[in-house]
A = this chain, B = another copy of it.
Amino acid sequence: MSDGKGPPVLEGVRVLDLTHYEAGPTCTLILAFLGAEVIKVESPTKDKSDRQRFNGEEDAKEDLYFVLMNLNKKSITLDIATEEGRSLLLDLVEHCDVLVENFRPAMMRKWTLKDEVLRRRNPRLIYASVSGYGSYGPYAAYPGLDMTAQAVGGIMSITGEGDEPPIRCGATIADSSGGANLALGIVAALYRREKTGKGMKVEVSLQDCAVNLGRSLLGTHIAYGSKAHKAGNRLKDVVPWNIYPTCDKGYVAVCVIPQRQFERLMQVIGQADLLRAHRLYSLPARKKNRQLIDEVVGAWVLRRTKREAMARLCQNDIPCGAVLDSIEVSDDAHLREREMIVEIEHHQWGRIKVLGCPVKIADSPVEIKTSPKIGEHNREVFARLLGLKDLDLQGLKARSII
């Protein structure tokens, strides 16, 4: 895929990254993967800095959660709670294409770092913001994070078994899609800027993004005006659609929609007779015999390991996925070949496996690099962009501005 050696697609785009926690860093991470120069701004005092760099214990190594979220970025320190810090930030804004933040809307106002102020300094600036509920609407001042977004976005109400309490998706899907949607908005605004020369303001809310993730099931019920129910691993209208235990104490998901795929499945698992006997020649007929089909598929799967069942069915063009855990994902040959799992060298942890970039662009290869040390790029950024001298930097450091 990435044989060519063209420059990365976002080469030349400079991003000032005021984000922390996860939704914001996820956005700037993918911009960095695609070749933008992302300058992460951290507080010079340890406890106020990005809360994920250190997990609180003295002398602990950097948290790997932080590392994963901040690959391929640069780091500078700057205390934007001080006036001098904010003044330097505004100087930097003049040299940047994009500013991304995920504070609550009130914080940026308090610091007089509103959209309009920043764009007065640099009319070409794309101002991008992600927060729990966005900057307008009745909940705009409410705090929100991934799990509350999964709640108010309807995701929890459709996840889990029908008779059990709602459950969250174990992945932080609201944060992650918040970051991806914001990145999309930013790049679309950059594209527009090529025509107009003008910056724009982009925002996403975690609740909006969670709702959007539910577009198929939740959205369809909303359009019909009906209440969506939890259905565990099944789908009301499709059979088979479930997980089945394997002989190695694992599970596989088997999900079959087209009739020709279903008939091939029956062949492969040696149940062609059953197909004829019960005339399972349509989706309605399959639905009527859900239990029977679950039984024969389950019996076939149970005699195999999850990897065997997946390979055998997929090689026969029948969708089947082994339920993989974190260790198995990290060892997966396919993910490694696709560079979704790559190894990097971290200055404290040594050689570690990290996740790569899910967007693959031919001729624009992504090289995954470790996260920066705190303030690692202070000299480079402040000297190159603002022309500050070593002496200036020493003074700023002495006053804990950087």
Contacts and interface: CB of A to CB of B under 8 A. Distances in A.
Contacts of A305: none
B338 A136 contact: yes
A232 interface: yes
Task: Please report whether the interface of chain A is mostly helix, strand, loop or mixed according to DSSP.
Answer: mixed
A153 B324 CA distance: 7
Given A147-B253, A187-B187, A142 B224 contact: no
Interface string A317-347: 1111111111111101111011011000000
B171 A169 contact: yes
Interface in A26-73: 26, 30, 34, 51, 56, 63-65, 67-69
A76 interface: no
A180 B179 CA distance: 10
B325 A157 contact: yes
Contacts of A147: 233, 241, 253, 255, 321
Interface string A250-269: 01110101000100000000
B172 A171 contact: no
Interface stretch (A80-88, A203-211, A293-301, A377-385): A203-211
A102 to B, nearest CB: 14
Contacts of A159: 159, 167-171
A161 to B, nearest CB: 7
A218 interface: yes
A192 interface: yes
Contacts of A327: 221-222, 225-227
Contacts of A283: 56
B184 A134 contact: no
Contact of A216 (B172, B230, B361): B172
A374 interface: no
A241 B172 CA distance: 14
Interface in A152-179: 152-161, 165-173, 175-177
Contacts of A9: 188-189, 191-192, 200
Interface string A185-200: 1011111101010001
A101 interface: no
A138 to B, nearest CB: 5
Contacts of A201: 1, 361-363
A90 to B, nearest CB: 20
Contact of A325 (B142, B209, B227): B227
Given A152-B329, A154-B328, A171-B217, 20 more contacts: A1-B136, A10-B191, A10-B192, A30-B184, A56-B283, A64-B224, A133-B334, A143-B317, A151-B252, A151-B321, A152-B321, A152-B324, A159-B168, A170-B230, A171-B216, A176-B177, A185-B359, A187-B187, A212-B340, A225-B327
18 contacts: A1-B135, A10-B188, A68-B216, A142-B315, A143-B317, A147-B253, A148-B321, A151-B321, A155-B169, A166-B251, A167-B232, A188-B361, A190-B191, A200-B363, A211-B355, A215-B355, A221-B327, A225-B327
Interface of A: 1, 6, 9-10, 22, 26, 30, 34, 51, 56, 63-65, 67-69, 132-139, 141-145, 147-161, 165-173, 175-177, 180-185, 187-192, 194, 196, 200-205, 207-209, 211-228, 230-233, 241, 243, 245, 251-253, 255, 257, 261, 283, 310, 314-315, 317-330, 332-335, 337-338, 340-341, 349, 352-355, 358-364
